[in-house]
Amino acid sequence: MKLLGVGKLFFSTLIVSIVLVGCKKSSRDISKSFCFNKEYSCIETKRIVEIETNKGKFILELDGKNAPVTVGNFLDLVQKGAYNKTLFNRVIREPKPYIIQGGDPLKLVNNYKSNISKDQNRINHKSIYSRFIPLEISVMNEERPRYNQLLGANFHERIKLRHVKGSISMARSEALNSASSQFYFSLKSLPELDGRYAVFGEVIKGFDILNLIEEGDYILNINLTK
């Protein structure tokens, strides 16, 4: 599954009409189905992870209170080692700082993939790409996040988790429930993406390291520290 291909797919999703998308199930029903019927659990508290890259380490705070499904999925992949030795495959800094994207388990450091057996690679591919994580947006004064709804500009001031410098969000294709493993970091405030992609945390230490990342750099490992 190709997610957030900036040249084509990313910008094509940006021009989707900003309308509310109706769902057959309520947001509460969707969150329950993902929390209790998947291999992973929702995480409804804040968690801290350390990302070690070939350029150094930085620290993320994940906001499970406002993005429990997304954080639960991300931490499950962390625990499975799905991000180890994966590349940062897209970095956009020109003409202005924009995003750093990574998290594709099939984009690995050269020669690392050859050390993984075909059976193990098949299992890893199935366990990751069989996921269909919904777009998850928390709105102020609402008990639960909204799922699979695009929120327009009139919601901007009410969205709890926004695209700010250092935020981490889930990449996806055009379908609202197509996120799986790929993510991106915002290199500046990107209000045009708020309500369209699920923010689920932010860099709280080491942004200078993140700012060194270029295409082809990679994650060594991610560790849950709290």
Q: Residue 110: its pLDDT value, please? A: 81
Name the average pLDDT for the chain: 83
- What is the mean predicted confidence (pLDDT) over 80-86? 93
Q: Residue 41: its pLDDT value, please? A: 83
Q: Is the pLDDT of residue 150 over 60?
A: yes
- What is the mean predicted confidence (pLDDT) over 33-46? 76
- Flag whether 84 is in a domain: yes
Q: Give the residue with greater pLDDT, 123 vs 111.
A: 111
Least confident of 125-139, 154-168, 177-191: 125-139
pLDDT tens, residue by residue, 187-218: 999 999 999 999 999 999 999 999 999 999 99
- Flag whether 64 is in a domain: yes
Q: What's the total number of domains in the chain?
A: 1
- What is the mean predicted confidence (pLDDT) over 10-26? 39
- Flag whether 170 is in a domain: yes
Q: Which domain holds residue 197?
A: 6-224
pLDDT tens, residue by residue, 48-62: 999 999 999 999 999
- Flag whether 68 is in a domain: yes
- Flag whether 1 is in a domain: no
CATH code (residue 204): 2.40.100.10
Q: Residue 13: its pLDDT value, please? A: 38
Share of the chain above pLDDT 90, in %: 65
> SS3 string of the chain?
CCCCCHHHHHHHHHCCCCCCCCCCCCHHHHHHHHHHCCCCCCCCCEEEEEEEECCEEEEEEEECCCCHHHHHHHHHHHHCCCCCCEEEEEEECCCCCCEEEECCCCCECCCCHHHCCHHHHHHHHHHHHCCCECCEECECCCCCCEECCCCCHHHHHHECCCCCCCEEEECCCCCCCCECCCEEEECCCCHHHCCCCCEEEEEEECHHHHCCCCCCCEEEEEEECC
- Flag whether 161 is in a domain: yes
